Structure 1
Amino acid sequence: MRPPSRACPGGAARGAAPRVETPCRDPPGGGAMNTDQLVSVLAFDDTPPRPISPRVMGMSGLWLLAAAAIALLILGVRDDLLQAMTAPVTAMKWLLPLGIAIPALLAAIALSRPVTWRVPILWMALAVGMGAVLWLLLSIMGTPADQLMPDMWGNSRFVCLTAIVGISILPLGTALWVLQDGASPAPGLSGACTGLAVGGFAAAVYALHCNEDEPLFFLIWYSLGILIVAALGAIAGRSLLRW
């Protein structure tokens, strides 16, 4: 004999007209809903979500443009910018950061969905980073010993780091604030990808001013600035993007 269904609270009072009681349904497996069940419920929820991608790009992009304008008003733009952008070596001051920033941004947006655990496009950013590391090692081996430290240290490393991090702060905070409307399964990774993206764009902005064109300089200090912003994004993302 099948046991009677458990009635939901709020059934008919004693003496009142009888009414049909609907049984309460517990989550599959009984007990409280666990994380996997919650993810499944959210994944199959047909409520139209607020689009995250255009808001991340739009709002963060506006703050990035504002920060870039202020930075370039203070620092200035290099006089030979067009010549530098067409030279193969110095063009890498823009191509490498953007090659990391664009895939990282797409990965951060993809990770805002709860069913997304793998982001293959992130491998593109990692491949660009590994290429930069290989170029750095080859540059170290090919530079005379007496020229190595001057080329590595340059004359504006502190300005470089300060500018990249400073340009990134408001766009990074805005992007993380918008991404809170998502449901990332990996908050730390989402924050790190967001930081990589913002830091890469900020480095490309700073390159409009920087006239230190030795690969040893920009491969080290641009990379360090981007990694600092990525670390800030990872730390903030673990708290802000948790759900």
Structure 2
Amino acid sequence: MSSDSLVLDLSADLVPVRRRHMLREGGLIGALGAAELAIFLGLGAMRPDMGHMAMSPYLLWRVGSLAVLAGIACTVAIRSFSPTSRPRVGVMLACALAVVAMMGGAIVVPAGLSGRSLLERLAPASGIMCAGSIFVLSLPIVAMLGALMRRAAPTQPRLSALASGIAAGSVGAFVFAFCCPFNDPLYVVVWYSLGCAAVAGAARWRLPRRFRL
């Protein structure tokens, strides 16, 4: 059999693949995150003092930094699904941005925290629930990014999976930020980071399994 005949035989049953559109994929992720936030708030989970705290430097830091991080991380994840992408730089950028956001928390510490012990500020029982909530809220985003990843052709699926986990964790943390009643930046840095790290680790472990590495 000639090579031309072999190629024709192998390609005879192929069906056209819909071309990727990154803006559409980003819109899907944004719509899913917005739906999660609407459902979560519709269930009455918004912190009761949101009207009073909405313009406070602390809450603006928390919500604003998570919104920027989620937007950049989702862009990095979606771009990483392209076969010509090199996601390492994007992942490093997202991690660097997260570190800068954490450092920014040092300038918005509310008054009255200096006399509290480290254990009181961390509130481990509530913190574990916080990290767990972020993990659960991130799962739909992980699933959506995993589906988009399977439809694409990433050449570095491990890094794409890690980028997807960072993006999903950031979106989950952003949604939860409207409901979390704690005002201590140390609490946010520790427990939000733990929740996002768990999501990133789970995505990095699970998503690349459908790809030959």
Which category describes the TM-score, using the shorter chain as reference length? 0.7 to 0.9
Against the structure 1 CA distance between its residues 59 and 150, is the aligned structure 2 distance closer, same or farther, given a 3 Å change threshold? Answer: same
SS of match in other structure, 1:210: coil
Q: Does the CA contact (< 8 Å) of 1:188 and 1:234 recur in 2?
A: yes
Q: Does the CA contact (< 8 Å) of 2:106 and 2:185 recur in 1?
A: no
Q: Which has the higher helix share?
A: 2
Displacement, 1:51? 1.7
Partner of 2:162: 192
Partner of 2:188: 218
Q: 1:70-85 residue pairs with structure 2 within 5 A?
A: 70-74=39-43, 76-85=45-54
Displacement, 1:121? 4.1
Partner of 2:7: none
Unaligned runs of 5+ in 1: 1-8, 11-23, 26-46
Displacement, 1:165? 1.1
The aligned amino acid for 2:19 is: R
Higher RCO, Cα 8 Å, sep 6+: 2
SS of match in other structure, 1:156: helix
Against the structure 1 CA distance between its residues 201 and 56, is the aligned structure 2 distance closer, same or farther, given a 3 Å change threshold? Answer: same
Asked whether 1:97 is paired with 2:66, we answer: yes
Against the structure 1 CA distance between its residues 83 and 124, is the aligned structure 2 distance closer, same or farther, given a 3 Å change threshold? Answer: farther
Unaligned runs of 5+ in 2: 5-15
Cα deviation, 1:164-195, whole Å, max 9, x if unaligned, reads 11111122112111121211121111111111
TM-score between the two structures when normalised by the length of structure 1: 0.69
RMSD of aligned alpha carbons: 3.0
TM-score between the two structures when normalised by the length of structure 2: 0.77
Q: 1:121-136 residue pairs with structure 2 within 5 A?
A: 121-134=90-103
Q: 1:167-178 residue pairs with structure 2 within 5 A?
A: 167-178=137-148
Displacement, 1:124? 3.3
Higher radius of gyration, 1 or 2: 1
Selected match of 2:117 from 135, 143, 147 = 147
Cα deviation, 1:148-172, whole Å, max 9, x if unaligned, reads 1110126622331222111111221
Aligned residue pairs total 198
Identity %: 23
Partner of 1:235: 205
SS of match in other structure, 1:60: helix
